[in-house]
Amino acid sequence: MAINFKTSDPPGLLKAFKKAIDEGHVVTWAYDKDGDFYHTPEQWRGRGWLRPIVYTGQLTMNFVKNNTLRTSSADYAVLHGRFIESMLTHCDKLFSDATATALPTNADTINTTSAA
């Protein structure tokens, strides 16, 4: 459940997307003080976060669970799909490929049980 953006400038891609949010061009995504991204529509707010990791030649977004909710397939499917859509809309010239894994990677966190 990771998103991988192939790019020659991973920090630049991340900076450009944050700038698009800050300038009001991206209105359905925000980022918190930790730098994690979240989807702002009420239905999806708090269902999970996307944490950026910069690698050489790649920006990866890992899914971070909400500790109080069970993670559903819809949670990460919607967040991944809409994040890729937003990156394509606002930063398409800054990366060449975007892929999403179907299952969690070792850097993703999900919650498979409901909190008490």
Coil/strand/helix, residue 37: strand
pLDDT(96) > 80: yes
Q: Write out the two tokens for 85.
A: 């859509």
Percent of the chain having pLDDT more than 90?
72
Mean pLDDT of 84-108: 90
Q: What is the value of pTM for the model shown?
A: 0.89
On whether the CB atoms of residues 32 and 21 are closer than 8 A, the answer is no
pLDDT level of residue 108 (50, 70, 90 thresholds): low
Coil/strand/helix, residue 84: helix
Give the distance from CA 9 to its chain's centroid: 17
So what's the pLDDT on residue 116? Answer: 42
Q: Write out the two tokens for 14.
A: 């991340």
The domain limits of the chain are 27-110
The count of other CB atoms within 10 Å of the CB of residue 17 is: 24
Mean pLDDT of 14-33: 98
On whether the CB atoms of residues 40 and 85 are closer than 8 A, the answer is no
